[in-house]
């Protein structure tokens, strides 16, 4: 996978660090307003943006200094024909390139919601136990990815499978650019393996749909009229101890205008479940707005990407050979075990690089 040369004009034109510095200055100016903290939610959103921009600008400026320093040393080495100095520089150049590749990916996360937390919804496809087991494998993969990146993950809701696995699950992942990274995982994931549930140990193909939504900020992104929602409570049917069965702590929220229904039963209290359900409802409503905007842009561009069944974004083949391949970027690896253990960064990075230069 090719990347830009560190400090090249192309890199600057794509990532526009000066514009990010300008935006950082504007946001920091807002924090000096006497009424800045009167709206806690908006203030926290601004502070999150400031933190992300500071990290991006600092990383880029550091690598800019490193490149300038190496360029100066190279000039001296060439002028004096110092072979030992030239040799020593190779390691430093490799280090800078590796750092640049990492920073380059981070700088690609400049979408309107990329710095947000993420909510993932995983749905088993047709196929009963096979697909339900596959859905649970995917849930574990994303939870392990979050753990590797030291992000907070919460299982907001789970519908257990009939015999094994899960029918569906909703996960919240909190961390810098969680949505910007995980948006690459939105779509159908396909598994090919020898079935552990088949007495004949035959080869099976299973599908699961992963939805990735940015965490919505109430009052900033959209508003919900309290009269438009109905809150119902019921007894939890999932695991979690006897305390969950003694009272109606599970919550189901119905949003009348859209027809969306969201439930949560993973927390101990009704209040916590209601808050979690509202998080998912806001995220789904925001996703609807995003899809509408993308559909309008697609009409102008003359193309449309369908994430429906039959249009898998990635295949995980465990038999007759081992291979994980992304069908959008053609990136692939034979190390299936590490991928299923949450090491999906190379797939994410390949996807982000493939989107550079596209209209937004």
Q: What pLDDT, in 10s, does the model give residues 20-31? A: 889 889 989 989
Q: What is the pTM of this model?
A: 0.76
Does position 14 have pLDDT exceeding 60, yes or no?
A: no
Per-residue pLDDT tens over the stretch 99-128: 777 677 777 887 889 988 999 999 999 878
If one compares 176 and 152, the residue with the highest pLDDT of the two is 152
Nearest to 271 by CA among 247, 294, 292: 247
Confidence band, pLDDT 50/70/90 cuts, at residue 267: confident
Percent of the chain with pLDDT strictly greater than 90: 44
Does position 175 have pLDDT exceeding 80, yes or no?
A: yes
pLDDT for 168: 94
Average pLDDT on 155-182 reads 93
Per-residue pLDDT tens over the stretch 160-172: 998 899 999 999 9
Average pLDDT on 258-277 reads 88
Kindly list the structural domains of the chain, giving each domain's residue range(s) and its CATH number in brackets, ordered by start.
9-107 (1.20.58.410), 118-215+303-354 (3.30.70.1660), 226-300 (3.30.160.20)
Confidence band, pLDDT 50/70/90 cuts, at residue 144: very high
Average pLDDT on 84-99 reads 72
Nearest to 212 by CA among 238, 259, 177: 177
Q: What is the dihedral of CA 143, 149, 150, 153, to 10 degrees?
A: -30
Q: In angstroms, rounded to a whole number, what is the distance separating the alpha carbons of residues 41 and 8?
A: 38
Q: In angstroms, rounded to a whole number, what is the distance separating the alpha carbons of residues 169 and 171?
A: 7
pLDDT for 305: 43
Does position 346 have pLDDT exceeding 90, yes or no?
A: yes
Q: In angstroms, rounded to a whole number, what is the distance separating the alpha carbons of residues 206 and 329?
A: 21
Please answer whether residues 37 and 138 qualify as being in contact, where contact means their C-beta atoms are separated by less than 8 angstroms.
no
Q: In angstroms, rounded to a whole number, what is the distance separating the alpha carbons of residues 171 and 141?
A: 12
Distances (CA, A) of 86 to 5, 7, 83, 196: 19, 20, 5, 56
Place of tokens 């040393």: 73
Does position 311 have pLDDT exceeding 70, yes or no?
A: yes
Average pLDDT on 121-149 reads 95
Average pLDDT on 277-286 reads 93
pLDDT for 249: 82
CA 131 to chain CA centroid, nearest Å: 22
pLDDT for 45: 75
Confidence band, pLDDT 50/70/90 cuts, at residue 48: confident
Q: In angstroms, rounded to a whole number, what is the distance separating the alpha carbons of residues 60 and 328?
A: 29
Rounded to whole angstroms, the maximal C-alpha distance in the chain is 82
Can you read off the two tokens belonging to residue 120?
């993932």
Please answer whether residues 163 and 197 qualify as being in contact, where contact means their C-beta atoms are separated by less than 8 angstroms.
yes
Does position 60 have pLDDT exceeding 90, yes or no?
A: no
Task: Quote the mean pLDDT of the chain.
Answer: 82
* Count of all residues that appear for the chain in the document: 360
Place of tokens 């929220």: 253
Beta bridge partners of 302: none
Contacts of 296 (CB under 8 A, 6+ apart): none
Q: In angstroms, rounded to a whole number, what is the distance separating the alpha carbons of residues 326 and 329?
A: 6
Q: Can you state the angle between helices 83-107 and 345-354, rounded to 10 degrees? A: 80
Per-residue pLDDT tens over the stretch 290-304: 888 877 766 665 544
Please answer whether residues 189 and 131 qualify as being in contact, where contact means their C-beta atoms are separated by less than 8 angstroms.
no
Does position 8 have pLDDT exceeding 70, yes or no?
A: no
User: What is 303-352 written as a DSSP string?
Assistant: -----STT-EEEEEE-SSS-EEEETTT--EES-HHHHHTT--HHHHHHHH
Per-residue pLDDT tens over the stretch 229-246: 999 988 776 544 433 444
Maximum mean pLDDT: which of 60-64, 203-207, 338-342: 338-342
Can you read off the two tokens belonging to residue 18?
């000066």
Does position 189 have pLDDT exceeding 90, yes or no?
A: yes
Q: In angstroms, rounded to a whole number, what is the distance separating the alpha carbons of residues 124 and 170?
A: 12
Lowest mean pLDDT, pick from 83-92, 203-212, 298-307, 326-335: 298-307
pLDDT for 118: 95
Confidence band, pLDDT 50/70/90 cuts, at residue 2: very low
pLDDT for 170: 95
Can you read off the two tokens belonging to residue 282?
């806001």
């Amino acid at each position: 996978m090719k990347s830009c040369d560190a400090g090249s004009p192309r890199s600057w034109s794509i990532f526009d660090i000066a514009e990010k510095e300008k935006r950082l200055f504007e946001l920091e100016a807002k924090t000096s307003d006497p009424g800045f903290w009167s709206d806690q939610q908006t203030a926290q959103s601004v502070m999150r943006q400031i933190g992300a921009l500071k990290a991006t600008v600092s990383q880029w400026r550091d690598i800019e200094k490193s490149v300038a320093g190496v360029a100066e040393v190279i000039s001296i080495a060439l002028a004096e024909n110092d072979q030992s100095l030239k040799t020593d520089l190779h390691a430093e150049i490799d280090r800078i390139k590796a750092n640049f590749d990492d920073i380059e990916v981070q700088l690609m996360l400049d979408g309107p919601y990329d710095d947000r937390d993420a909510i993932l919804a995983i749905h088993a496809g047709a196929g009963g136990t096979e697909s339900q087991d596959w859905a649970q494998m995917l849930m574990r993969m994303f939870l392990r990815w979050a753990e590797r990146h030291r992000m907070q993950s919460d299982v907001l809701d789970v519908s257990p499978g009939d015999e094994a696995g899960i029918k569906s699950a909703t996960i919240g992942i909190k961390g810098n650019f969680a949505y910007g990274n995980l948006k690459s995982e939105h779509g159908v994931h396909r598994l090919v393996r020898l079935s552990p549930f088949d007495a004949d140990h035959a080869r099976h193909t299973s599908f699961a749909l992963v939805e990735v939504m940015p965490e919505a900020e109430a009052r900033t992104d959209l508003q919900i009229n309290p009269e438009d929602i109905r809150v119902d409570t019921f007894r939890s049917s999932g695991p979690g101890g006897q305390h969950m069965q003694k009272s109606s702590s599970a919550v189901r929220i119905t949003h009348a205008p859209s027809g969306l229904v969201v439930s949560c039963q993973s927390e101990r209290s009704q209040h916590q479940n209601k808050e979690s359900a509202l998080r998912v409802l806001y995220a789904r409503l925001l996703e609807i707005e995003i899809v509408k905007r993308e559909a309008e842009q697609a009409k102008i561009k003359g193309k449309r990407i369908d994430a429906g069944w039959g249009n898998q974004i990635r295949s995980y083949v465990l038999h007759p050979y081992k291979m994980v391949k992304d069908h959008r970027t053609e990136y692939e690896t034979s190390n299936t075990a590490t991928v299923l253990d949450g090491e999906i960064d190379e797939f994410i990075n390949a996807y982000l690089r493939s989107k550079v230069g596209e209209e937004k």
